[in-house]
Structure 1
Amino acid sequence: MRKLVALPVLSADALSSVAYGPEAMLAVLALAGTAGLTYSFPVAGAIVFLMLAVGLSYRQTIRAYPHGGGSYIVAGDNLGRIPGLVAAAGLMTDYILTVAVSIASGMAAITSAIPSLTSETVPMGVGVILLLLAGNLRGIRQAGALFATPTYAFIAAMFALVAAGLVDAAGQGFQPPLTLTVPVNDTVGLLLIMRAFSSGATAMTGIEAISNAVPAFRSVEWRNARTTLTWMVGLLIVMFAGIVVLIYCTGVMPSARETVLSQLARLTFGSGWMYVFIQAATAAVLLLAANTAYNDFPRVLSLLARDDYAPRTFMRLGDRLAYSNGIILLSVTAALVFVAFNGRTASLIPLYAVGVFLAFTLSQTGMVVHWWRRRSRHWRKSLLFNAMGALLSAVVFMTAGISKFTSGAWVAIVAVGLFLLVTTRIRRHYEAARVALQLHPHAIELPAHAIAGPVTPSQSPVQHEHGVRGAEMNRESEELPEEVRHLCIVAIATLDLASMRTLAYAASLQQPVLALHISVAEDEAQRFRDYWSLWGDHLPLEVIVSPYRAVVAPLVRYLEALHRQHPELTLTVIVPEIITSRRRHQLLHSRTAIRLRRALRPLPKIVITSVPFHLPSD
């Protein structure tokens, strides 16, 4: 992507958060009445400093990880396995809440302009999640292209609002209305200020999106990514500070019926077309900002699955090159959270900061360790920036965890703990399965001789003895055993004990056997051929390269082609099937046999057979 395209695509989440970040800060300070509101500038100043420090920190991350440096990767590489998982837990919580909070805030922008829709907030929000689900299942690239116009429209709307509002405020000497009265429900204290700081800091969500997506930029990728990050942080600071100043000068207060941004726009422009434009741009960018999570959540989940911390089904790409299972999981979870909190932004905010700044803290701490170990050029300056980012992020994380614990932060903390428990249990099961399945010297008997193989679709068709008659007759008219002509096809993902048992079973049938392997890349295909030769090349092998990482679809197409060339054959597809001692562990293993049965059911003369391999109890 060019920088002008990457900025709106990757910054929508961060920039749109100014629609609820200042309001969340103000809502906490307002609990202490007018005395609490006097701290709005100091708290906002601290948040701006935090934005600057974390932005500088992620500039160092981009330079150190030019292939993408998300919190899971950085923390795992430099701090170890458990800190990496904790960072991943924070990220996953963040992404789920990004969808819920962005849509809740977008619904608030719509209902502020059209109050009659307030009662329909939850159904409309769930409907938007379903639209995002459908759009992302069609492909991340197409969904991401929707970002540019709404994001730039939102930036233009905010700058117009801030500029016009400051002109009006200048005419009044930048003084708030003298009639401002706020009821007092709390006292000014350190805890209140800490809560306001952590609430306002949610305006920083999404700031690490650019460091995750460095390879998506044009060359030189890391340099263009750093430039885009600088622009994003600059825009974020200007818009956040401008809105805080306008809030102070106008005296608007949070309301359950209308957002602060809507009140500012109405005071500045009235209810005309400019007000409608600001509200429409705000709603659009907030609703689409949720799509940032649809880019990152499935990708992090696929990395966890690659490392055996999540079910391997989350590594599978759909036909549109999207991690379909991860997208579905995100949509379902975000919809449940959105409905559980009745689509209210104020109720969701306390959960938000914990996951965000937990990931920030571990990522930046990991970068400190990275620079200390590498000691490359300018390492001291980079280490200082990352140490500052880690320290400030840790302060916000601790602040949010303590001050908002009873308000809902405990949910995020418990979610992180459950995530660690589940992922480590999954890893332990996969390690036990790997031990049970691995090949050992002299553990298996090799066939005494090679078994003659059949003609495959990649070779020239040959007429068998009954080939012509078989093609002319009804495809499923065989009624006598001698009329049935067999071909056994063994689908193999890897050479392990389960695959060897399946190959042995197929060879024992004394029928022509063909081994079939699906690889995602040519180098992996060649590696499998080498393993096959080392085993002894006792059966003919056909390797299909599937760059889209699909397994069932290319296998089905291959069988269709084979059936068209040799309609006289009855194809028996034999696949290994892992059977676990505990039913819940079955979800962690491939269900290829079930998917093949569903896909091949419409085709005649195809039989699916699974050979079970029972894992020992773990």
Structure 2
Amino acid sequence: LVLVAAGTVATFYLVPIAIGITILLAILTLSYRQTINTYPAGGGAYIVAKDNLGTTPGLVAGASLLVDYILTVAVSISAGVAAITSAVQGTRLDFLEHHRVALGMFLIAFIALINLRGVREAGAIFAGPTYLFVLTMLALIAYGLFRYYTTGEVLPTPSGEELHFDDSVGSYDYSTLTGFALVWLLLRAFSAGCTALTGVEAISNGVTAFEQPDAKNAITTLTLMALIMTVLILGTGFLAYKLNAHPSAEGGQTLLSLVSRHTFGSGVIYYIIQGATAAILVLAANTAFAGFPRLASLIAADRFLPRQFANQGDRLVFSNGVLILAVLAAVLIAIFKGEEQAMLPLYAVGVFLSFTLSQSGMFVHWLRQRKAEEAQQRIREQEQAERVHVTEDPTRFVHEQTRLEAIERDKGGNWLVSIIINGLGALISFIVLIVIAVTKFTHGAWSVLVLIPLLVLMFRAINGHYRLVAAQLSLDKARPLPAMQHRVIVPVSGIHRGVLPALQYARSLAGDNNEHVTAVYVEINPQNTEELRQEWERWGNGIPLTVVKSPFRSVTEPLMKFISREAETHKEMITTVVLPEFVPRAWWQQLLHNQTALLIKGRLLFYPNVVVTSVPHHLRR
């Protein structure tokens, strides 16, 4: 769509750009086949980079992919909404154009809900739209080219169209669009088209989600996906070029909508194509819903993200990852008002950074493996040389040595092919990364390049916290603690049935020694205090009552000071605060009462050597 800025004649470059993208896809497919073979348990960029390049490159790859998964959902959903609004232009539903954000939010919630029900359910629901999209696109390409070559009809050139390049370059006549300006335009278009390749990483990262044999099925899926994408990218690019298709830069119909409407008219088939397109774009978002939670769980398992991301729900789904992804993608759509073109400059930077790190990691992996094999070969040769002196048949030894050398030559050939494939993948990915970063830098890519290091710093901070916690909880040099007596404090707001069980429990902790237990009442109204003292003589069970005055009518602050003072005075004892609580029968009734006990528990959580115990009294009605 970046070619829109270059006018009608520049659509000629659709085909060579499409060819370049498919060549890149082929290289990445071969590279990731190697990755899946080497890491059959799941070889995403995070694992490969961490194992072969180190922790920091692994975290960079992980941060890049997490950002790109979020953008995948936001961009795919926004593009799906654009397909829907393109189809309903001029109909009673054209008002949807003004509600793109709300429609995008609804689709995100729908996909999140499906994924919370489980991976198998999500796969079953989205299988149909996938097949429908592929079939309709193949039909569009075949019939569109047939119709073009039999009728010669093309789309009309929009009236008043003027050649525009980047805002910083200005307006050009096509004949002047040469040299750097032309190269810059083509690089921008190529970088925008590379967003179609982001699904390659998701397959490599989710090998374990496939049925057994999972690695073989993942490789087959990756290959089929690459073949289908090649046909669709080349076919639609060539058809759009032949039909002189170019959408308006100010909005309106998408390029695919223009081509399909020109080919099939505005009938049922057109709406089927647009519906299938919207569905497949939603499915692209679903791919991120599968990849983001799984990647977050791997990073969390290494203690670089909160442990909640590593927890699976009752349907074996990483529910927290699904929910966080949905929220962040929804926020992006709201910020950019559902305009996918505004988000595209942010897109693909992260995934090609992860491509580069992953393939570089595989390159290092093959180098290390080769060195290890050479070391093992030297050991075997030394052992064979020692055995030759004791063998009874030297000829037999020579034949065996020749056979082993042939096997090693075959291994060396396989190693050479593997390192060339992954080395080429790393080099090409790095070049594309530079192209994307440079051509999209001023259009928003800078924010992603800043965000990724910030995420890595966050990962390090989280990991540092977990390390400190582990060190402080370690039993190394620790000794068993001696038994201690309780200093029991019972905060009361009055005397009633809910207080009596708490007083009983407090006496049991103190061993019927009332010197170690006290009830404390914060005085707001002196008249109420006098009434409480009279009732306490009867119901206090011999426990002394301490009254703390509160001149500013605050309850929690004077109570906190009293507890802190008691804990400081009785350091040789455990200060136990027993909170009497009554529990209403219905949940909504809880909202009608003060949450003083909850506030007290929250404050005391940060007081050392203070234990809080709740004694609930359940109301029956």
TM score, norm. by length of structure 1: 0.68
Question: 2:197 is matched with which residue: 204, 214, 222?
Answer: 204
Corresponding position of 1:155:
134
Question: 2:270 is matched with which residue: 275, 278, 283?
Answer: 275
Using the TM superposition, name which of 136-145 and 194-203 deviates more.
Answer: 136-145
Q: For residues 430-468 of structure 1, what are the alpha-carbon distances to aligned partners after superposition, in whole Å with 9 as ceiling and x for unaligned?
A: 222222221123x212669xxxxxxxxxxxxxxxxxxxx
CA distance in 2, matches of 1:149, 1:355: 30
Corresponding position of 2:417:
381
Question: CA contact under 8 A between 1:316 and 1:323: conserved in structure 2?
Answer: yes
CA distance in 1, matches of 2:617, 2:503: 23
Corresponding position of 1:75:
49
Corresponding position of 1:429:
465
Residues 1:110 and 2:84 aligned together: yes
CA distance in 1, matches of 2:419, 2:228: 25
Corresponding position of 1:55:
29
Amino acid at match of 2:64: G
Deviation for aligned residue 1:602? 9.8
Distance of aligned partners of 1:475 and 1:226 in 2 relative to their CA distance in 1, 3 Å threshold: same
CA distance in 2, matches of 1:135, 1:604: 39
Distance of aligned partners of 1:282 and 1:580 in 2 relative to their CA distance in 1, 3 Å threshold: farther
Q: Please state whether the residue corresponding to 1:67 is helix, strand or coil.
A: coil
Distance of aligned partners of 1:475 and 1:68 in 2 relative to their CA distance in 1, 3 Å threshold: same
Question: 2:229 is matched with which residue: 219, 229, 236?
Answer: 236
Corresponding position of 1:522:
none
Amino acid at match of 1:300: L
Corresponding position of 2:106:
127
Corresponding position of 1:246:
239
Residues 1:168 and 2:147 aligned together: yes
Question: 2:207 is matched with which residue: 195, 214, 219?
Answer: 214
Residues 1:393 and 2:393 aligned together: no
Deviation for aligned residue 1:176? 6.0
Q: Which runs of structure 2 are paired with 1:555-594 in the superposition (5 Å)?
A: none
Q: Please state whether the residue corresponding to 1:208 is helix, strand or coil.
A: helix
Q: Please state whether the residue corresponding to 1:127 is helix, strand or coil.
A: helix
Distance of aligned partners of 1:233 and 1:154 in 2 relative to their CA distance in 1, 3 Å threshold: same
Deviation for aligned residue 1:289? 2.2
Corresponding position of 1:481:
504
Question: CA contact under 8 A between 2:86 and 2:252: conserved in structure 1?
Answer: yes
Question: 1:364 is matched with which residue: 335, 359, 363?
Answer: 359
Deviation for aligned residue 1:179? 5.7
Residues 1:412 and 2:386 aligned together: no
Corresponding position of 2:216:
223
CA distance in 1, matches of 2:505, 2:347: 69
Question: 1:257 is matched with which residue: 252, 257, 267?
Answer: 252
Q: Please state whether the residue corresponding to 2:125 is helix, strand or coil.
A: coil
Deviation for aligned residue 1:329? 1.3
CA distance in 2, matches of 1:129, 1:261: 23
Using the TM superposition, name which of 215-224 and 356-365 deviates more.
Answer: 215-224
Deviation for aligned residue 1:206? 0.8
Deviation for aligned residue 1:479? 8.0
CA distance in 2, matches of 1:94, 1:580: 42
Question: CA contact under 8 A between 1:176 and 1:248: conserved in structure 2?
Answer: no
Deviation for aligned residue 1:89? 1.1
Q: For residues 209-252 of structure 1, what are the alpha-carbon distances to aligned partners after superposition, in whole Å with 9 as ceiling and x for unaligned?
A: 22222223333322222122111100000001000011011111
Corresponding position of 1:28:
2
Q: For residues 549-585 of structure 1, what are the alpha-carbon distances to aligned partners after superposition, in whole Å with 9 as ceiling and x for unaligned?
A: xxxxxxxxxxxxxxxxxxxxxxxxx9xx99699xxxx
Deviation for aligned residue 1:180? 7.7
Amino acid at match of 1:33: G
Q: For residues 118-139 of structure 1, what are the alpha-carbon distances to aligned partners after superposition, in whole Å with 9 as ceiling and x for unaligned?
A: 0011111011112223333333
Corresponding position of 2:287:
292
Corresponding position of 1:87:
61
CA distance in 2, matches of 1:205, 1:165: 28
Question: CA contact under 8 A between 1:180 and 1:251: conserved in structure 2?
Answer: no
CA distance in 2, matches of 1:578, 1:435: 21
Corresponding position of 1:66:
40
Distance of aligned partners of 1:82 and 1:580 in 2 relative to their CA distance in 1, 3 Å threshold: farther
Instruction: Name stretches of at least 5 consecutive residues in structure 1 with no aligned partner.
Output: 1-26, 449-473, 487-507, 510-573, 582-592, 606-618
Q: Which has the larger radius of gyration?
A: 2
Deviation for aligned residue 1:485? 8.2
Question: CA contact under 8 A between 1:177 and 1:249: conserved in structure 2?
Answer: no
CA distance in 2, matches of 1:380, 1:604: 76
Corresponding position of 2:480:
445
CA distance in 2, matches of 1:338, 1:88: 23
Distance of aligned partners of 1:444 and 1:57 in 2 relative to their CA distance in 1, 3 Å threshold: same
Deviation for aligned residue 1:41? 2.1
Q: For residues 247-272 of structure 1, what are the alpha-carbon distances to aligned partners after superposition, in whole Å with 9 as ceiling and x for unaligned?
A: 01111112311111111111111111
CA distance in 1, matches of 2:430, 2:462: 29
Question: CA contact under 8 A between 1:478 and 1:484: conserved in structure 2?
Answer: no
Amino acid at match of 2:245: V
Distance of aligned partners of 1:603 and 1:227 in 2 relative to their CA distance in 1, 3 Å threshold: farther
Distance of aligned partners of 1:267 and 1:298 in 2 relative to their CA distance in 1, 3 Å threshold: same
Question: CA contact under 8 A between 1:144 and 1:291: conserved in structure 2?
Answer: no
Instruction: Name stretches of at least 5 consecutive residues in structure 2 with no aligned partner.
Output: 166-176, 374-410, 484-496, 510-572, 575-600
Amino acid at match of 1:46: G
Amino acid at match of 2:215: W
Question: 2:163 is matched with which residue: 169, 172, 184?
Answer: 184
CA distance in 2, matches of 1:212, 1:445: 45
Q: Please state whether the residue corresponding to 1:147 is helix, strand or coil.
A: helix
Q: Please state whether the residue corresponding to 1:440 is helix, strand or coil.
A: coil
Deviation for aligned residue 1:356? 1.4
Residues 1:346 and 2:341 aligned together: yes
Question: CA contact under 8 A between 1:354 and 1:397: conserved in structure 2?
Answer: yes
CA distance in 2, matches of 1:218, 1:169: 43
Deviation for aligned residue 1:320? 2.6
CA distance in 2, matches of 1:476, 1:275: 73
Amino acid at match of 2:448: A
